[in-house]
C-alpha cells in the first residue's frame, strides 16, 4: 500500500460552542499562548510525515488562509528592525508543508467537508485532523495510526475512553479485539452522539482518522443524518460494515479546543512547558490555588 502523504483539516464549522468569539474569528484560530490551535495541528501532521495539507475553510474563515500565507511586508519590517527571530518565525509558517485551502460554501456537515477533498486526495490513503481537536506535541498518535493503516491497508480511527455521561457528545464505537495487535481494535459499529443508554461502548471517536480512499464512495452515498448534516460517522459505519475499519485506542494528550474548559487546560499545559512562560504562569497558578483554597 502507498504511504500516507496527504492530510485534510476540516475547519469550516460555525463553532457555536464558542460564541460570541466565533462570530468573526474562526475557533481554529484560538490562541494557545502565541500560536493559533490550527498551527499546532499542522505541525502535528508534518511531524507524522505529512507533506501536503488541504484545509477546508469557509467564506468566514479568511484568517486561516492568511495565517499560512507569506506576509512579505511584515517579514521585511521585522528584518529591518533587527527582529530576525520573529521574521523567521513568521516566514516558517508558510513553509511548514505544502498547504492548500478549499472553501466549503455551506457547513453541511463533517462528512460533506471531508468529501470535498476527493479530487485533491485522489486514490491515496490520507489523514484527517479536526481543526478544533489538538494533540499534545509529544503525542505519537497520528504516526501510530498512519503506521497501522499502511501495514494493514485498512482505515484507522482514533478512539478514547470517556466517562459514561460524556458519550452522547461523540461518535461511539462497538469494537472487538484484534489478537496481538493492541491497542488496535476492529470497529464493528458506530453511532453518532447516542444517548448514553444506547451507546455501544465508552469508546468515543476523536478527531484523528487515517482513511483509505474508499471512504469517499461511502461519503457520497451518505444521506443527511443527525442534525440534518452529512455525518462522517455514518460514512465510517458503512465502511466498517463493508471492507472494515480499525480503531486505535489511545489515552491522554488530547485537547478539545472547541470546549472552553479544555481550551484553558491546553494553555496551562503547554504554557507550563515553555521556559519563557513557566515562571510567570506558575506564580499565577500558585496565587490562584491559595486564593481559592484548593490546596
**Sole binder of ligand UTP in the list 4, 7, 8, 12 (CB under 6 A):** 12
d(CA 121, CA 12) in angstroms, rounded, equals 18
Of residues 28 through 57, those in contact with ligand UTP by CB under 6 A are 56
Of residues 55 through 74, those in contact with ligand UTP by CB under 6 A are 56
**Sole binder of ligand UTP in the list 36, 109, 115, 247 (CB under 6 A):** 109
Q: Give, in degrees to the nearest 5, the angle at Cα 78 between 92 and 277.
A: 70
**Sole binder of ligand UTP in the list 53, 130, 173, 203 (CB under 6 A):** 130
Q: Are strands 6-10 and 126-129 parallel, antiparallel or unpaired?
A: parallel
Of residues 179 through 208, those in contact with ligand UTP by CB under 6 A are none
Rule CB under 6 A: say whether 271 interacts with ligand UTP: no
Smallest gap from residue 285 Cβ to ligand UTP (A): 28
Stretch that binds ligand UTP, among 15-23, 118-126, 162-170, 263-271 (CB under 6 A): 15-23
Rule CB under 6 A: say whether 10 interacts with ligand UTP: yes
Nearer to ligand UTP, 131 or 247 (CB): 131
- Which sign does the torsion angle of CA 168, 145, 4, 52 carry? positive
Question: Is the bond preceding 183 in cis, omega lying within 30 degrees of 0?
Answer: yes
Rule CB under 6 A: say whether 281 interacts with ligand UTP: no
**Sole binder of ligand UTP in the list 37, 48, 67, 104 (CB under 6 A):** 104
Smallest gap from residue 188 Cβ to ligand UTP (A): 24
Q: How many residues bind ligand UTP (CB under 6 A)?
A: 21
Residues that bind ligand UTP (CB under 6 A): 10-18, 56, 104, 107-110, 112-113, 130-132, 258
Amino acid at each position: 500500500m502507498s504511504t500516507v502523504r496527504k492530510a485534510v483539516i476540516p475547519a469550516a464549522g460555525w463553532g457555536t460552542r464558542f460564541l460570541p468569539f466565533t462570530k468573526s474569528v474562526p475557533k481554529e484560530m484560538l490562541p494557545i499562548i502565541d500560536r493559533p490551535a490550527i498551527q499546532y495541528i499542522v505541525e502535528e501532521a508534518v511531524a507524522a510525515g505529512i507533506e501536503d495539507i488541504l484545509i477546508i475553510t469557509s467564506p468566514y474563515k479568511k484568517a486561516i488562509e492568511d495565517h499560512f500565507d507569506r506576509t512579505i511586508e511584515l517579514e521585511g519590517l521585522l528584518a529591518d528592525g533587527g527582529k530576525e527571530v520573529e521574521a523567521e518565525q513568521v516566514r516558517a509558517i508558510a513553509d511548514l508543508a505544502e498547504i492548500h485551502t478549499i472553501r466549503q460554501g455551506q457547513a453541511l456537515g463533517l462528512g460533506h467537508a471531508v468529501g470535498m477533498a476527493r479530487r485533491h486526495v485522489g486514490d491515496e490513503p490520507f489523514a484527517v485532523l479536526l481543526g478544533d481537536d489538538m494533540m499534545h506535541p509529544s503525542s505519537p498518535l497520528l504516526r501510530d495510526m498512519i503506521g497501522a493503516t499502511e501495514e494493514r491497508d485498512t482505515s484507522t480511527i482514533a478512539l478514547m475512553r470517556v466517562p459514561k455521561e460524556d458519550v452522547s457528545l461523540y461518535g461511539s464505537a462497538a469494537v472487538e479485539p484484534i489478537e496481538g495487535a493492541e491497542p488496535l481494535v476492529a470497529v464493528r459499529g458506530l453511532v453518532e452522539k447516542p444517548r448514553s443508554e444506547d451507546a455501544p461502548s465508552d469508546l468515543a471517536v476523536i478527531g484523528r482518522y487515517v482513511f483509505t480512499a474508499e471512504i469517499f464512495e461511502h461519503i457520497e452515498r451518505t444521506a443527511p443524518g443527525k442534525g440534518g448534516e452529512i455525518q462522517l460517522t455514518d460514512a465510517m459505519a458503512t465502511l466498517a460494515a463493508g471492507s472494515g475499519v480499525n480503531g486505535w485506542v489511545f489515552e491522554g494528550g488530547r485537547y478539545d479546543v472547541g470546549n472552553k474548559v479544555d481550551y484553558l487546560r491546553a494553555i496551562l499545559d503547554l504554557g507550563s512547558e515553555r521556559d519563557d512562560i513557566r515562571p510567570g504562569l506558575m506564580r499565577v497558578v500558585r496565587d490562584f490555588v491559595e486564593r481559592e483554597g484548593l490546596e
